Structure 1
């Protein structure tokens, strides 16, 4: 029997030697394809959603992935109050600058022309200039009061979790990038593992085929290679969570072993693309809670103008009429609020440095317990691991059928 098997092995040497390589190829291709199917296509491609076609698992579950990212980050790693408390009012005031006399005069002219044109038209120029000087506000005082007001009423003004979820749901490609860039080494490892495990299984397949041949054997082995390479690679990424020493060798899931590196990459992406000063400003001043923020700014502006007017306030109210005076105040505050997104843009660089979100997130994420840390990336796999493994098994089975056809052709 051995002599017969050896003779056949020699007669079909290249076919047999190809088995480990083919099995390694099956393992690699099925694993890489499974990863690609997790992320692409970003939008559904097919004819009958969701049954006849495909959409990447991560973009399809973008909302859920965004909430998972938030649950890891807010308030475990950072919160709204901490973000605003890191801004120094004097620095912000210096960057924003105060309106010059010409700008302020133009604003006062516009408001008075709307709310009391008769009075403004007959006032001497000297009185008008005095009025403009009176309403010049102390920029730093207003900024400090506004920032303190934001912190005191932060729940009404800003929801960090809501902002992050909306930003990620708007940009599915960004969600893909977060997973692909922070888990790039893990995904590469899955592909390489597919080849190594597949090659090893292919050796057993080759030996088994020498001594025993059945039509079901090659397809079944292909299915097992596709299944096991995906399964083992996924397990080796996340298990064991803690280092386990076996003799001189220490084992630990690759993702957990790289916790500090992953924390740095993840935090940099989040700080640059999601929780950045521009997005925070947009959320506060133009988001669903913008009315609360506008009211805080307007309130402290009115208070500052009242203080600057001082004893002149009753006389100004009497001259204009109380209702017109209050309407003019409201108009001035409204004008400032409407221009805030444009006014605060120059402070983006300072705010990014002061908030220091990348370093904060990275240092805190690096020391998260293994279960919580795994929760960042594992959900991208966990619910649909069976699907990824099934795809690998199906592709392996198909290649096994092709191997069987090739052998039959060679044998003929």
Structure 2
């Protein structure tokens, strides 16, 4: 039959190869997440890669986040910078000004007897004490957070609490295009194998 139709192998083999290659890679992508629960028995028990390795993935990702992205020391340093930033100082200063003005207003006419420079000195003194307290608190928080904050544990806990549907959607949202390319690549590789087989068959005959 093949001898009667010499072009048939060049059509059938590549087509079948492309279908098999595409289907194989499509199945491999699906098996990243499915089956969700172990299926089968003994050595023939199957489970999706992500469900089976969720704990190991959580350990690896959480360790990477803490070591490479954001450590407890980074968080502590950020908190200290925020606490001692110029923006915080300005907001505290505005609060002090408003508080002093409110207290002076509550004194009524008696407030006019207070020397202006005295009010300014009181205001400055209060601001200095507050700024000093905030800076000390920032340093204290830096020490406490640096030693107590468990970034790795928090990230690991969040990942372990992920529903598998959530994790699948997260991965697909990030890597849908790449996974699709893997499926298509399987089709092209199968097509190439089919062409090689057709060529070998042609030489054999």
State TM-score, norm by structure 1: 0.34
Q: Give yes or no for contact 1:285–1:293 (8 Å, CA) kept in 2.
A: no
User: 1:346–1:280: structure 2 CA closer, same or farther, 3 Å change rule?
Assistant: closer
The one of the two structures with greater contact order (alpha-carbon pairs below 8 A, sep at least 6) is 2
Q: CA deviation at 1:280?
A: 2.7
2:71 equivalent to 1:276:
yes
Q: Give yes or no for contact 1:285–1:294 (8 Å, CA) kept in 2.
A: no
Where 1:251 maps in the other structure, the secondary structure is coil
2:119 equivalent to 1:322:
yes
RMSD, matched Cα: 4.4
Instruction: Report the Cα distance in structure 2 between the residues aligned to 1:402 and 1:335, rounded to whole angstroms.
Output: 78
The 5 Å alignment of 1:2-401 reads 214-244=9-39, 246-248=40-42, 249-281=44-76, 283-284=78-79, 293-294=88-89, 298=92, 321-327=118-124, 330=127, 344=139, 347=142, 351-382=145-176, 385-401=179-195
User: 1:235–1:270: structure 2 CA closer, same or farther, 3 Å change rule?
Assistant: same
Q: Structure 1, residues 59-96: CA drift from partner, whole Å, max 9, x if none? A: xxxxxxxxxxxxxxxxxxxxxxxxxxxxxxxxxxxxxx
Number of equivalenced pairs: 178
User: 1:279–1:347: structure 2 CA closer, same or farther, 3 Å change rule?
Assistant: closer
Instruction: Report the Cα distance in structure 1 between the residues aligned to 2:28 and 2:188, rounded to whole angstroms.
Output: 17
Q: CA deviation at 1:344?
A: 4.3
Structure 2 residue runs without a partner (length 5+): 97-113
**What does residue 108 of structure 2 align with?**
none
Q: Give yes or no for contact 1:219–1:396 (8 Å, CA) kept in 2.
A: yes
Instruction: Report the Cα distance in structure 1 between the residues aligned to 2:182 and 2:171, rounded to whole angstroms.
Output: 15
**What does residue 111 of structure 2 align with?**
none
Structure 1 residue runs without a partner (length 5+): 6-211, 303-316
Instruction: Report the Cα distance in structure 2 between the residues aligned to 1:336 and 1:398, rounded to whole angstroms.
Output: 72
Instruction: Report the Cα distance in structure 2 between the residues aligned to 1:294 and 1:391, rounded to whole angstroms.
Output: 58
Q: CA deviation at 1:384?
A: 5.3
Instruction: Report the Cα distance in structure 1 between the residues aligned to 2:23 and 2:120, rounded to whole angstroms.
Output: 78
Q: CA deviation at 1:382?
A: 3.7
**What does residue 94 of structure 1 align with?**
none
Instruction: Report the Cα distance in structure 2 between the residues aligned to 1:368 and 1:257, rounded to whole angstroms.
Output: 14
